[in-house]
Amino acid sequence: MSDWSPPTLSRGQLAGIVVGLLAVAAYSLVIVGQLLLVVVPAAAILAVYLTWRFIVAVEAIADALQRLAADKTDE
């Protein structure tokens, strides 16, 4: 089994995202008065993260298939 592991978000990046979402939530409550305003940025961040994870998974599958093909041609 391979020791390759997909990259994850660092604690700093995760903290930045959480602080940003909290700032948007505070703005939406205090200034605008609508809590649902935070849903749009949170959904956008989630969509970008899931797309990134999907791309990493597809790259890992392609890499594994290339290694299998290389092993078969060596035999």
pLDDT digits (tens, 9 = 90+) for 42-66: 899 889 989 988 998 899 899 999 9
Distance CA 18, CA 1 (A): 35
- Cβ neighbour number for residue 38 with a 10 Å cutoff: 19
Indicate if the pLDDT at residue 35 is higher than 90. no
Of 66, 43, 47, the C-alpha closest to 55 is 47
The whole-model pTM stands at 0.67
Distance of CA 39 to the CA centre of its chain: 17
Tens-place pLDDT, residues 38-47: 888 889 988 9
